[in-house]
Amino acid sequence: MLFNSAIFIFVFLPLCLAGWYGLNHFGLYRPALWFLSISSLIFYGYFHPAYLLLILASVLINYGVLRAILRFRKASKLLLALGVLANLGILGYFKYCDFFLSTVNGITGSNIPLRNILLPLGISFYTLQQLSCLTDAYRGKESDYRFDEYLTFVTFFPQLIAGPIVLSEELIPRFRDLSLRRFDAESFASGLSLFILGLAKKVLVADLFGRVVDFGFEKIYWIDTASAWVVGLCYSIQLYFDFSGYCDMARGLAEMFRFPLPENFAQPFKAFSIKDHWDRWHMTLTRFFTRYVYIPLGGSRKGRIRTAVNIFLVFAVSGLWHGAAWTYLIWGALQGVGVLWSRRKFLRLKPGVLSWFFTFSFIVASQLIFRSGDLDFMRRMLTAMFTPKGVHFLPELASCLAEAPEFYMITRAAEALAPGALNALYLILLALMLLVAALLLRGRNAAKLCADAKAAAYPKRFIWLLALLFTAVVVSLNQVSTFLYFNF
Amino acid sequence: MDGKKTALRFLKRLAAITLLCMLAVAFVVVLFDPFYHYHGPLPGMQPVLEERDYEVIGTIDHFDYDAILLGDSLVENTNTRWLSELFEAKAVKAIRAGGSNADLLFYLDRAYEAGELKQVFYCIDRAVLCADTTLTFPENDYWYLVNRNPLDDWKYLWNKDVLLKKIPIQLAYNTVLDYDPGEAYDWYRTKTFSTESMKVYYEPQENFDEAQPVPAEFEENLALLKERISAHPETVFYLFYPPTSLLSWDKELREGGLEADLAMIRRLSTAFADCPNVKLFGFFAAEDYAATDHYMDVVHFSPEVNYAIFEDMAEGRCTLNSTSVEDELDKLKGMIRDFSGDKISGIYPEAVTAEAAQLP
């Protein structure tokens, strides 16, 4: 089920909220938790019922290992290793099997048939989440959870498909706090506001920029330098509004249930260095890799060279985690190099326009690698970006906006009244889109907007903004599109 | 406590304003109703018909008409004004591109539910008659317009394309742009009709396949059609087998479909003999209409051909019945022998020509 679908907004969510608060109202606290986890499984299985078997198997295996770690402390290291192997084995099979086979085929010239395994949604997210839980138990943190608590923690639908990556210590204690089981208008109002803003970011902004990106990649053989940079810019904007929009929705939904989720974005395009960017972008992933990969590898405690290797490794692994393709690995490795660069004092620029510009350009170019999917597309896009090929394709790129409902009448009118000015109009529309996106990126983020509105006792203009955005989103629901982060 | 009160007040206001906005959008859609789901064109406005699959059903349910043109893309370029001039018919078009007899009969049934019909013009080409006998409407796309379930109307009432594309274009065609509603759903404007343009869509296969039997669906489709005809003796049914290009006949010959085609035409000529309200026409043997320069691809002909066949029907030419059918089929076979046995080399120099043994 998609957050931006009618079935979710008008059927699933109201029923789920009513069931949750209804059961809790009558003191049925444990059935309420079961209700929430079963609802979450319905939400998950709606995409593809067969995925349910995998997620349930994964939960059962991990819960079994968790209990074993708590019970057999002396063997906890071995049990943790088994748990990690099981998780990585499942993830490896479903996500990396074909990548591995095609790489072997490429290197050896063999022709091993690919398995064409359908990647189960959210597998990367719930695998990391459960790995963190096992590791915390091994480290002696409070992890004595009941099965219904653990199941709800893993499957809680707002964060199940694409994060934020939540730790058990953040969620399960709140499940246990029965004072939070009562409906609270303040939490609900905050959550609803954030959910609507997130919906609008995804549906109204990200999907519009997605048109330009898809068209650019469709026409990759004709693309020139200016167009490649514009496609890169549009993709960075699309990715940010798509993923941060999803996270805002997730946080908003969780807030409606009175379970706040951690923030995942802090205005990443304002960063002055790549390290700064990664402190602001997908923060819960950075936190996971720092806690559970970087620090166990030795972190910065074993000398400069080892630190550099650790950083590079963490980002390379993060790249592969995002997708099973060489482009993801290259993207991750580049991020590692960028972070290492920004850690060296003599290479680092002082925070200012120049450092912002280089950081932003680096992010835009590297995110195009992320989008490319295969090495040939990556090569073509980077060649277009970094070799002078002019601007002749730009009007055609912008012309893909002609069919966007938002601009349809303007372009049809221009077609009838001034066909000679059409190309100029397309370019103006594209420039306007970029300008609006820049203003949105410069302004307050969704969470801050909601917090400020709450502090100001929800002024009328904020209520009108939400109502108009929600109406615009509902009107756009016939053009349901898939979230970019679902397949990572 | 204040915070709680503020939040509750916010939630109430948000719900009220959102409802207001949603109702405003729904009101605009119901008022202009670009797919004619609730009513016909507003007084003083002419219909704008550009989205065939979305608009046909609304046209049938809510327009004022006494005749209907049923068929696939072959008759899409027909201007309903011609039917008015030639048959004094106030007609609507019910087109189902690549559709089936079942879909077209579904439209016909809906038309009878909406009112009386004086005339039905039905293009019964090979594709329509051999199609599956079940409906082919996709459930997820525009079914909400076809079914009569008001609960799924929200897909129409709150629809970005309807609001930002269809309503403005309806207004534009009624104010500043020229539009002829008779030409609803036409596609010919961007196409070129010539031998050169059609030949790129067809490559004669070298071998000649074995003859195929008549598909079982043919008789089932005939029976379904006849059921409607018998149920409505007050309506005159103009059934016509449309013009077919020489390349299309060549294709049938090579792919082993020709014998079945001939058998189907022969069967068609007698199928409605006991239906006095049927006027049956066959344009398959008309050499003028089969000429390759009238086509954009193997099957789709120009609007001039569309006009000519309705003119023929109005004047009673090209009728098909049990007495004329053998002559017509002989003419057709002669045309095919002439083309596939010899003339095809003029279009495809490399093509293997049909030998006497393969020719009909």
- A256 and A173 in a common domain: no
ipTM score: 0.90
Query: Shortest Cα distance from B143 to chain A (angstroms)?
Result: 13
Number of domains in chain B: 1
- Between A104-108, B123-127, B355-359, the lowest mean confidence (pLDDT) is in B355-359
Q: At what angle do helices A207-218 and A353-372 cross, to 10 degrees?
A: 60
Average pLDDT over residues B139-160: 88
pLDDT (0 to 100) of residue A481: 37
Read off the DSSP letter of residue B50.
Answer: -
* Distance (Å, whole) CA B258 – CA B333: 10
For residue B26, being part of any structural domain is answered with no
> Across residues A365-383, what is the average pLDDT?
94
Looking at the structure, tell me whether residues A366 and A398 fall in a common domain: yes
Q: What is the mean pLDDT of residues B264-283?
A: 93
* Residue B275 Cα distances to B236, B278, B323, B326, angstroms: 10, 6, 16, 21
Counting beta carbons within 10 angstroms of the beta carbon of residue A180, is it exposed (0 to 12), middle (13 to 18) or buried (19 or more)?
Answer: middle
Q: What percent of chain B has pLDDT over 90?
A: 73
Reading phi first (left if > 0) and then psi (alpha if -120 to 50, else beta), residue A145 is in beta
pLDDT at A324: 92
Longest CA–CA span in chain A (Å) reads: 81
B27 touches chain A (CB under 8 A): no
Residue B219 domain flag: yes
User: Mutation test of the interface with chain A: which of B2, B4, B14, B22, choosing the one with the most A Cβ atoms within 10 A?
Assistant: B14
| Residue A409 to residue B164, Cβ atoms within 8 A | yes
More confident residue, A118 or A411: A411
Q: What is the pLDDT of residue B228?
A: 96
Domain membership of residue A331 (yes or no) is no
Does any domain span residue B81? Answer: yes
Q: What is the pLDDT of residue B140?
A: 65
Alpha-carbon distance of B261 to A89, in angstroms, equals 60
| Alpha carbon separation from B212 to A445, B166, B253, B330, B355 (Å, rounded) | 67, 45, 10, 20, 19
B23 shares contact with chain A (CB less than 8 Å)? no
Q: Where a domain ends, among A164, A183, A202?
A: A183
Q: What is the rounded distance in angstroms from the CA atom of residue B262 to the CA atom of residue B282?
A: 12
The reply to whether A332 falls in a domain is no
A19 & A164 share domain: yes
Chain center to CA of A332:
15
The answer to whether position B273 is within a domain reads yes
d(CA A104, CA A28): 55
Tokens 């060296």: give the residue: A344
> For residue A298, is it within any domain?
no
> A295 in a domain, yes or no?
no
Lowest-confidence region among A115-119, A141-145, A435-439: A115-119
Residues of B in contact with A190 (CB under 8 A): 7
Mean pLDDT of A246-254: 97
Q: Which of B4, B159, B176 sits opposite A478 (nearest CB)?
A: B159
Q: How many CB pairs under 8 A join A and B?
A: 82
Q: How far apart are the first and last CA of chain B?
A: 92
For the segment B31-46, the average pLDDT, to the nearest whole number, is 95
| Count of other CB atoms within 10 angstroms of residue A424 | 13
Query: Are A155 and A199 members of one domain?
Result: no
For residues A48 and A194, state if they share a domain: no
> Is A416's CB within 8 Å of B11's CB?
no
Q: H-helix or E-strand containing B355?
A: none
- Evaluate if residue A200 carries a pLDDT over 90: yes
Residues 6+ apart with CB under 8 A from A417: none
The answer to whether residue A200 sits within a structural domain is yes
Q: Is the pLDDT of residue A346 over 90?
A: no
Evaluate whether residue B340 is within a structural domain: yes
Q: How many CB atoms lie within 10 A of CB A106?
A: 10
Determine, for residues B165 and A409 on separate chains, whether the beta-carbon distance falls below 8 Å.
yes
Record: contact B13-A463, CB cut-off 8 A? yes
The string of pLDDT tens digits covering residues B62-81 is 999 999 999 998 999 999 99
Same domain, residue pair A169 and A83 = yes
Flag whether pLDDT at B175 surpasses 50. yes
| pLDDT at A217 (0 to 100) | 95
- Is B32 inside any structural domain? no
In a shared domain, residues A86 and A217: no
Question: So what's the pLDDT on residue A447?
Answer: 95
In a domain, A229, yes or no: yes
A436-474 pLDDT, tens digit each = 999 999 999 999 999 999 999 999 999 999 999 999 999
B17: which chain A residues are within 8 Å (Cβ-Cβ)?
Answer: 463-464, 467
The predicted pLDDT at position B142 comes to: 84
Q: Is the pLDDT of residue B355 over 90?
A: no
Examine residue B41 and state whether it is found in any structural domain, yes or no: no
State whether A408 and B164 contact (CB < 8 Å). Answer: yes
Band of pLDDT at residue B360, cut at 50, 70 and 90? confident
Look at residue A484 in the predicted model and tell me its pLDDT.
45
* Residue A268 shares a structural domain with residue A146: no
Residues from A contacting B (CB-CB < 8 Å) are 6, 184-186, 188-190, 192, 405-406, 408-409, 412-413, 416, 454, 457-458, 460, 463-464, 466-468, 470-471, 474-479
Q: Best residue in B160, B176, B190 to probe A by mutation, most A CBs within 10 Å?
A: B160
Examine the residue annotation and report whether A322 is marked as an active-site residue of this protein.
yes
Check pLDDT > 60 for residue A250: yes
Structural domain range at position B241: 61-163+182-347
Residue matched to tokens 């002024």: A459
Residues A225, A367 within the same domain? yes
Residues A255 and A154 in one domain: no
Query: What 3-state class would DSSP assign to A26?
Result: coil
Q: Which of A128, A158, A183 is the last residue of a domain?
A: A183
pLDDT exceeds cutoff 80 at B139: no
Both A152 and A252 in a single domain? no
pLDDT digits (tens, 9 = 90+) for B199-224: 889 999 999 999 999 999 999 999 99
| A144: confidence class by pLDDT, cuts 50, 70, 90 | very high
Phi, psi of B71 (to 5 degrees): 170, -175
| pLDDT tens by residue, B176-187 | 888 888 888 888
CB < 8 Å to B25, chain A: 471, 475
Phi-psi region of A361 (alpha: psi -120 to 50; beta: other; left: phi over 0): alpha
pLDDT tens for each residue of A145-197: 999 999 999 999 999 999 799 999 999 999 999 999 999 999 999 999 999 99
pLDDT higher than 60, residue A486: no
pLDDT category at A480 given cuts 50, 70, 90 is very low
Q: Which of A463, A471, A476 sits opposite B22 (nearest CB)?
A: A471
Q: Which domain holds residue A467?
A: 188-272+349-480
Asked whether residue A71 is domain-assigned, the answer is: yes
| In the block, residue with structure tokens 């949603």 | B22
- The catalytically annotated residue of A25, A277, A282, A322 is A322
pLDDT at B3: 86
**A201 shares a domain with A176:** no
One DSSP character per residue, A433-480 reads HHHHHHHHHHS--HHHHHHHHHHTT--HHHHHHHHHHHHHHHHTGGG-
| Number of structural domains found in chain A | 2
Q: Is residue B305 part of a domain?
A: yes
Last residue of a domain, one of A160, A183, A206: A183
CATH number of the domain to which B318 belongs: 3.40.50.1110
